[in-house]
Amino acid sequence: MKRELLNRIYYVGVNDRQKTLFENMLPLPYGVSYNAYFIDDEKTVLVDTVEQPFAEQLLAHVQELLAGRELDYLIVNHMEPDHSSGIKTLQAIYPNMQIVANAKTIEMLGGYYGIREGFHVVKDGDSLNIGSRTLQFHFAPMVHWPEVMVTYSIEDKLLFSADAFGCFGTLDGAVLDTELNLDKYYTEMVRYYACIVGKYGAPVQTALKKLGGLEINMICSTHGPVWTEHIGEVVGIYDRLSKYETEPGVVIAYGSMYGHTEEMAEMVARGAASVTKNVVLHDVSRSDHSYILADIFRYKGFICGAPTYCGELYPNAATLLAKIKTRGVKNHEFGCFGSFTWANATAKPFEAFAEVMKWEITGYVEVKQSMTAEQAEALYELGRAVALKTLEK
């Protein structure tokens, strides 16, 4: 898709409706866009590229805008292959273009693609004049790779933000936030952040503070809509998520082989629902973990339940807990419950998880074989207790 955003700055990205799993892990029910941008000034500039299977589409957009001219600069804000694997195709057509990159990016360009020359090296805060515009480069390491930088067009008050403020979802016929129904993009932004950026809350906060002094009227991310009227909302989402700020509510994630632990989860949910409407129930073997993680980043309460399996915690529940640990999620109220037939192996893994996360366990309920009326009441109270804690300031 080719679209002029403002005075001679164009969107030249592509939509991927074929890929089913992002990073071969995360479902893409709405597809994904790979965004690139072209600046037509005294010097011609392309900001980022696209994934290799779509490089010919990008090249067609760029060649149409160049109208026989050379491409002077390619700015590489982020080296993840969904944004950089098209560089070799572009370089084959425009061998004299200068690649604007920092030292870490240059190292990766050599490692990934064998590109070792033709660089315009920039440092944090450097500027590049391209005619009527001055582009300024700000490093944003670990948002979410170490080489990441963003590019700011001073005159346009426009930020090319790499993956920051991006989300899943193709751009269906439009590019600007003002022209799209944003419901799915906001939801997918939270899932995108939780799964991809979620570990790096502190670097995101550093970047937000660093860029806070810039006047920004447009954000051009490498995924999802171009943000204009809704900049406050998307920056607010990143600010809140990177601080691990949540809203009252409870996520209940459970594993169950024969339905007994699911019955326990239902009782927990009843207790939570007696306090709040914000109760989300996930079967760890049916819900993709990316959706569970997104809900955990949203709601303050988390209750996990699982049976014993081969003398250990049910594998899909253990995997979810490992993913939460990887992301260093903070500020949550935690409860847990376990079931077993002859030897309980759920209490210790839950205790170890809570210790690593520095979360206090509000309560733990275990059931041997099948749930009694007394245990059902205890599970109800567990859900209620965690939900009440999420209402506390």
Mean pLDDT rounded to a whole number for the chain: 97
pLDDT one-digit tens code per residue, 25-57: 999 999 999 999 999 999 999 999 999 999 999
Among candidate residues 302, 252, 250, 300, the one with its CA nearest the CA of residue 276? 250
Judged against a pLDDT cut of 80, whether residue 387 lies above it is answered with yes
For the chain, the first-to-last Cα distance in angstroms comes to 47
Domains and CATH numbers, the chain: 3-242 (3.60.15.10), 250-390 (3.40.50.360)
pLDDT one-digit tens code per residue, 51-96: 999 999 999 999 999 999 999 999 999 999 999 999 999 999 999 9
pLDDT one-digit tens code per residue, 195-206: 999 999 999 999
The tokens of 178 are what? 């003002």
For range 221-246, the mean pLDDT:
97
Rounded to whole angstroms, how far apart are CA atoms 105 and 115?
Answer: 11
Q: Write the DSSP string, 284-321.
A: TTTS-HHHHHHHHHHEEEEEEEEEEETTEE-HHHHHHH
Rounded to whole angstroms, how far apart are CA atoms 268 and 252?
Answer: 8
From edge to edge, which strands make up the β-sheet containing 218-220?
127-129, 134-139, 149-153, 158-160, 218-220
Reported confidence tier of residue 98, pLDDT bands at 50, 70, 90: very high
260: exposed, middle or buried (Cβ count in 10 Å: 0-12, 13-18, 19+): middle
For range 209-218, the mean pLDDT:
95
- Secondary structure element (H or E) that encloses residue 240, with its range: helix 231-242
Reported confidence tier of residue 239, pLDDT bands at 50, 70, 90: very high
CA distances from 317 to 209, 242, 256, 355 (A): 36, 25, 10, 17
Rounded to whole angstroms, how far apart are CA atoms 337 and 256?
Answer: 12
Rounded to whole angstroms, how far apart are CA atoms 350 and 32?
Answer: 36
Q: Is 189 helix (H, G, I), strand (E, B) or coil?
A: helix
Judged against a pLDDT cut of 90, whether residue 1 lies above it is answered with no
Judged against a pLDDT cut of 90, whether residue 393 lies above it is answered with no
pLDDT at residue number 2:
83
